[in-house]
């Protein structure tokens, strides 16, 4: 019964979606107010229906209803409750349901909190949201129904891929989807603006919080995925340029560009067409991310759907959504007139440089991800370009951008002089040189790239602080005046400062972890010792045991530094009962300067020897910390007063709700 209710709710949601798309869009075109007003209740009903469907699927998973195919394929009675729940979205059909649930959530947020939007704009935004939703409902109902029954029902399920049975991964997809789908708001606003033919500062102020919220979620989602790869895959790496990682990284790059260019639209009434295009491109890349993962065009660990019928459907959807919006852009875009003029050396110029680098980087990632596909399509065979390509393209792009990132915020709008800005950065230059010298001395013989990387990070970190100091006129006015300015600094400005500081810390982590990682792979008997990164790891042997739904072998390493005991690491190797698939659970001890990382592999011959992998990953924790600070910066900026103008009465609430108060 539950499955039928869910299925029925999904069909109803499709019908409501069609109404929500048709009436408000038509009404907005002909100025029929009651038709436009349909959008709000329709969006709320849609949310109620999709929530019902999602709740039904979750109920089926929790009660392990094996008469439903989706539950059979992805669950098992012996699985812990958390993974029964996360199993709901750990598969193709369920993840789509999550997608539309989040879309409906954002839609009703506009309906509820968008009271200050002009009625026609709100009707159009919601209508376009509904069009996207209709595409996804059709896709689910026609090709990927999560409520498909199976007869006869089997006694037990096939279990979820054990790699996915992990707390980090339980929350990774929802975060990522909040980001992907969040960009649909920017997209809908962009299309609505193209239809209305009007893009101005107020429009930019409405779009910005949605973009910012989506960006925060996506940033956190990507970091969570990378963290999961780091501790679960057991190779000590944190980014593999896997197509699926790239799929989430491309919208991030484009979304970051959008975030910066929408500031220019808001403050200077220029770069309009470009910002609209970025909004379309960002959401298109989000859709493409879904497409790449789901269609089987690219096969990878993550790809849970390889069904050509689905691929054809998604391709049609992409052509309609992306092709349609770009065609609209081609027709209506030239009509958007920008009034603000600016010189190349100016705040606008710096933001445009950021945009160009971000977009070029996104294009490069797209090329590297799709090139193998294109080559295969023209008969060139299956290849993978892999990390060498991405590193070769990415690093030369990012280095000048980070150099410019410290300078940009110091430039005035419209027209600026480079020389005074640069002269204010003497402290940053000094810091960069000092850090590079220190790194060079400490890591003699290491790759130069690492030295340059931490130097850049120091430059950006101190440069961002210099900007903060000059904003509050530190040391130039009295301390009390500076403190007053510090207090009056708007949260959006604080957000930028934090986000840039966060990036600096993350860059230091990436550079150090990339350049100075040390590893040692060997067979170890109990009592054997290896030294990695200045720490001595003594293997104490391994013992077998049992977890809730797996067998395990747990090894013990006593780690000492300079002869003094430091910590004991207990990595595990698990073999899941169902499917007999093994996973590694690395043991990680985080210190300020780096992570001690131990993995236990296969038994090697007799005498209790095991294959072990031991790594010292310098500054890895800085990466996660830096990303967290970036997200915090985004959230802080989201709470800025300027986004709340127009709804002064309400103060409580957080996250999406706050974003909605545009």
Partner 1 sequence: MPTRALYLLPLAVFLVMAGYFALGLTKDPKIIPSALIDKPVPAFKLPPIEGGKGNGFSSDDLKGDITVVNVFASWCIPCRAEHPLVTELAEMKIARVYGLNYKDKPADALRWLSALGDSYYATGADRDGRVGIDWGVYGVPETFIVDRFGKIRHKQVGPMSPDILRKQIVPIIRDLKK
* Residues 6 or more apart in contact with residue 615 via CB below 8 angstroms: 236, 517, 518, 519, 520, 532, 595, 596, 597, 598
Query: Using the rule CB under 8 A, is 337 a contact of partner 1?
Result: no
Query: Using the rule CB under 8 A, is 290 a contact of partner 1?
Result: no
**Alpha carbon distance 567, 229 (integer Å):** 23
**Alpha carbon distance 610, 44 (integer Å):** 57
* Smallest gap from residue 319 Cβ to partner 1 (A): 5
Write each residue from 596 to 625 as x if it is in contact with partner 1 (CB under 8 A), else as -, in one continuous string: ------x-xx--------------------
Nearer to partner 1, 77 or 522 (CB): 522
Nearer to partner 1, 333 or 655 (CB): 333
Tokens at residue 125, please?
Answer: 């935004």
* Smallest gap from residue 609 Cβ to partner 1 (A): 10
Closest residue by Cα to residue 578 from 49, 137, 77: 77
**Alpha carbon distance 215, 212 (integer Å):** 5
Query: Using the rule CB under 8 A, is 526 a contact of partner 1?
Result: no
* Smallest gap from residue 454 Cβ to partner 1 (A): 32
* Residues 6 or more apart in contact with residue 251 via CB below 8 angstroms: 179, 180, 183, 218, 282, 283, 285, 286, 289
* Smallest gap from residue 41 Cβ to partner 1 (A): 35
* Smallest gap from residue 604 Cβ to partner 1 (A): 7
Nearer to partner 1, 323 or 527 (CB): 323
Other Cβ atoms closer than 10 A to 442: 10
Closest residue by Cα to residue 77 from 159, 153, 3, 1: 159
Nearer to partner 1, 511 or 600 (CB): 600
Q: Which of 299, 343, 478, 529 binds partner 1 (CB under 8 A)?
A: 299
Give the distance from CA 500 to its chain's centroid: 17
**Alpha carbon distance 351, 518 (integer Å):** 38
- Cβ atoms 233, 291 nearer than 8 A: no
Closest residue by Cα to residue 615 from 238, 245, 242, 241: 238
Q: Are strands 550-561 and 587-590 parallel, antiparallel or unpaired?
A: unpaired
Handedness of CA 333, 339, 340, 343 (dihedral sign): positive
* Smallest gap from residue 140 Cβ to partner 1 (A): 19
Query: Using the rule CB under 8 A, is 308 a contact of partner 1?
Result: yes
- Cβ atoms 60, 148 nearer than 8 A: no
Nearer to partner 1, 105 or 191 (CB): 191
**Alpha carbon distance 453, 507 (integer Å):** 7
Tokens at residue 630, please?
Answer: 């970036």
Q: Report the chain's C-alpha Rg in angstroms.
A: 26
Query: Using the rule CB under 8 A, is 233 a contact of partner 1?
Result: no
Stretches 81-89, 156-164, 305-313, 432-440: which one binds partner 1 (CB under 8 A)? 305-313
Nearer to partner 1, 296 or 655 (CB): 296
**Alpha carbon distance 100, 40 (integer Å):** 17
Stretches 51-59, 322-330, 475-483, 633-641: which one binds partner 1 (CB under 8 A)? 322-330
Nearer to partner 1, 43 or 297 (CB): 297
Query: Using the rule CB under 8 A, is 334 a contact of partner 1?
Result: yes
Number of helical (H) and strand (E) elements in the chain, helices listed first: 23, 10
Query: Using the rule CB under 8 A, is 319 a contact of partner 1?
Result: yes
The phi and psi torsions of 260 (rounded to 5 degrees) equal: -75, -35
**Alpha carbon distance 123, 330 (integer Å):** 23
Query: Using the rule CB under 8 A, is 284 a contact of partner 1?
Result: yes
- Cβ atoms 123, 14 nearer than 8 A: no
Stretches 52-60, 185-193, 308-316, 462-470: which one binds partner 1 (CB under 8 A)? 308-316
Question: Contacts with partner 1: how many residues (CB under 8 A)?
Answer: 38
Query: Using the rule CB under 8 A, is 322 a contact of partner 1?
Result: yes
**Alpha carbon distance 651, 267 (integer Å):** 25
* Smallest gap from residue 541 Cβ to partner 1 (A): 18
* Smallest gap from residue 100 Cβ to partner 1 (A): 23
Nearer to partner 1, 331 or 442 (CB): 331
Q: Which of 37, 48, 85, 318 binds partner 1 (CB under 8 A)?
A: 318
Considering only residues 361-400, where is the footprint of partner 1 by CB under 8 A?
A: 370, 373-374, 376-378, 381-382
* Smallest gap from residue 386 Cβ to partner 1 (A): 13
- Cβ atoms 249, 259 nearer than 8 A: no
Greatest distance between any 2 Cα atoms in the chain: 83
Other Cβ atoms closer than 10 A to 537: 23
Quick one: which H or E segment has residue 260? helix 243-268
* Smallest gap from residue 381 Cβ to partner 1 (A): 7
* Smallest gap from residue 322 Cβ to partner 1 (A): 6
Stretches 290-298, 416-424, 453-461, 480-488: which one binds partner 1 (CB under 8 A)? 290-298
* Smallest gap from residue 376 Cβ to partner 1 (A): 6
Q: Which of 51, 306, 551, 560 binds partner 1 (CB under 8 A)?
A: 306
Nearer to partner 1, 319 or 418 (CB): 319
Q: Is 488 helix (H, G, I), strand (E, B) or coil?
A: helix
Stretches 207-215, 318-326, 424-432, 625-633: which one binds partner 1 (CB under 8 A)? 318-326
Write each residue from 260 to 279 as x if it is in contact with partner 1 (CB under 8 A), else as -, in one continuous string: -------------x---x--
Nearer to partner 1, 56 or 279 (CB): 279
- Cβ atoms 455, 432 nearer than 8 A: yes
Query: Using the rule CB under 8 A, is 402 a contact of partner 1?
Result: no
Nearer to partner 1, 337 or 392 (CB): 337
Nearer to partner 1, 311 or 340 (CB): 311
Q: Are strands 564-569 and 550-561 parallel, antiparallel or unpaired?
A: antiparallel
Query: Using the rule CB under 8 A, is 333 a contact of partner 1?
Result: yes
Q: Which of 118, 153, 168, 311 binds partner 1 (CB under 8 A)?
A: 311
DSSP strand E in 22-121: where?
Answer: none
Cis peptide, bond prior to residue 152, ω within 30 of zero = yes
Q: Which of 297, 499, 510, 556 binds partner 1 (CB under 8 A)?
A: 297
The phi and psi torsions of 529 (rounded to 5 degrees) equal: -130, 135
* Smallest gap from residue 333 Cβ to partner 1 (A): 4
Nearer to partner 1, 577 or 604 (CB): 604
Considering only residues 132-191, where is the footprint of partner 1 by CB under 8 A?
A: none
Other Cβ atoms closer than 10 A to 562: 8
Query: Using the rule CB under 8 A, is 18 a contact of partner 1?
Result: no
Residues within the interface to partner 1 (CB under 8 A)? 273, 277, 280-281, 284, 291, 295-297, 299, 306, 308, 311-312, 315, 318-319, 322-323, 326-327, 329-330, 333-334, 370, 373-374, 376-378, 381-382, 580, 582, 602, 604-605
């Amino acid at each position: 019964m539950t499955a039928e209710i869910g299925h029925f709710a999904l069909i109803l949601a499709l019908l409501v979606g069609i109404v929500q798309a048709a009436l408000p869009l038509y009404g907005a075109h002909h100025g029929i107010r009651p038709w436009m007003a349909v959008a709000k209740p329709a969006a709320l009903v849609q949310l109620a229906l999709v929530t019902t469907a999602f709740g039904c699927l979750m109920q089926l998973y929790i009660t392990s209803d094996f008469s439903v195919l989706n539950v059979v394929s992805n669950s098992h009675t012996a699985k812990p409750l958390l993974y029964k729940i996360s199993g709901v979205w750990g598969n193709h059909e369920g993840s789509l349901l999550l997608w539309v649930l989040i879309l409906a959530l954002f839609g009703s947020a506009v309906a509820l909190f968008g009271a200050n939007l002009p009625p026609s704009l709100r009707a159009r935004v919601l209508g376009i949201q509904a069009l996207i939703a209709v595409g996804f409902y059709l896709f689910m109902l026609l090709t990927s129904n999560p409520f498909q029954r199976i007869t006869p029902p089997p006694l037990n399920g096939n279990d979820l891929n054990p790699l996915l049975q992990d707390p980090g991964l339980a929350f990774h997809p929802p975060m990522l989807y909040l980001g992907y789908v969040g960009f649909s708001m920017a997209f809908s606003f962009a299309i609505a603006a193209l239809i209305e033919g009007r893009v101005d500062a107020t429009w930019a102020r409405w779009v910005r919080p949605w973009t910012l919220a989506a960006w925060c979620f996506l940033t956190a989602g990507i970091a969570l995925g990378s963290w999961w790869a780091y501790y679960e895959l057991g190779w000590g790496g944190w980014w593999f340029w896997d197509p699926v990682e790239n799929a989430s990284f491309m919208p991030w790059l484009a979304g970051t560009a959008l975030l910066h260019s929408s500031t220019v639209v808001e403050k200077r009434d220029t770069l309009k067409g470009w910002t609209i295009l970025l909004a379309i491109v960002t959401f298109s890349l989000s859709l493409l991310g879904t497409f790449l993962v789901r269609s089987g065009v690219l096969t990878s660990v993550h790809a849970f759907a390889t069904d050509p019928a689905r691929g054809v459907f998604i391709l049609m959807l992409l052509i309609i959504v992306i092709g349609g919006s770009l065609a609209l852009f081609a027709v209506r875009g030239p009509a958007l007139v920008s009034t603000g003029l600016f010189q190349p050396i100016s705040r606008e110029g710096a933001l445009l440089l950021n945009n160009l680098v971000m977009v070029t980087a996104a294009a490069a990632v797209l090329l590297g991800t799709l090139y193998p596909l294109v080559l295969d399509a023209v008969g060139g065979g299956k290849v993978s370009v892999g990390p060498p390509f991405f590193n070769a393209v990415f690093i030369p792009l990012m280095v000048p951008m980070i150099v410019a990132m410290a300078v940009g915020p110091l430039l005035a709008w419209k027209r600026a002089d480079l020389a005074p800005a640069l002269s204010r950065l003497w402290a940053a230059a000094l810091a960069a040189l000092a850090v590079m010298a220190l790194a060079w001395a400490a890591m003699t013989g290491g790759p130069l790239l690492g030295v340059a990387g931490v130097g850049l990070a120091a430059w950006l970190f101190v440069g961002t602080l210099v900007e903060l100091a000059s904003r509050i006129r530190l040391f130039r006015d009295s301390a009390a005046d500076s403190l007053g300015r510090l207090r009056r600094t708007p949260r959006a400005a604080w957000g930028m400062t934090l986000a840039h500081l966060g990036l600096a810390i993350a860059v230091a982590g990436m550079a150090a972890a990339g350049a100075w990682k040390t590893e040692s792979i060997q067979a170890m008997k109990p009592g054997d010792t290896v030294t990695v990164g200045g720490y001595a790891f003594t293997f104490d042997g391994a013992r077998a045991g049992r977890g809730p739904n797996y067998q395990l072998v747990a090894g013990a390493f006593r780690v000492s530094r300079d002869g003094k005991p430091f910590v004991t690491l207990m990595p595990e190797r698990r073999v899941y009962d169902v499917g007999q698939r093994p996973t590694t659970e690395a043991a990680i001890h985080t210190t300020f300067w780096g992570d001690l990382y131990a993995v236990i592999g296969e038994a090697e011959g007799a005498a209790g020897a095991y294959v072990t992998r031991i790594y010292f990953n310098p500054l890895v924790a800085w990466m996660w910390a830096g990303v967290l600070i970036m997200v915090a910066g985004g959230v802080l900026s989201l709470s800025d007063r300027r986004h709340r103008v127009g709804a002064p009465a309400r103060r409580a609430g957080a996250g999406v709700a706050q974003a909605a108060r545009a």
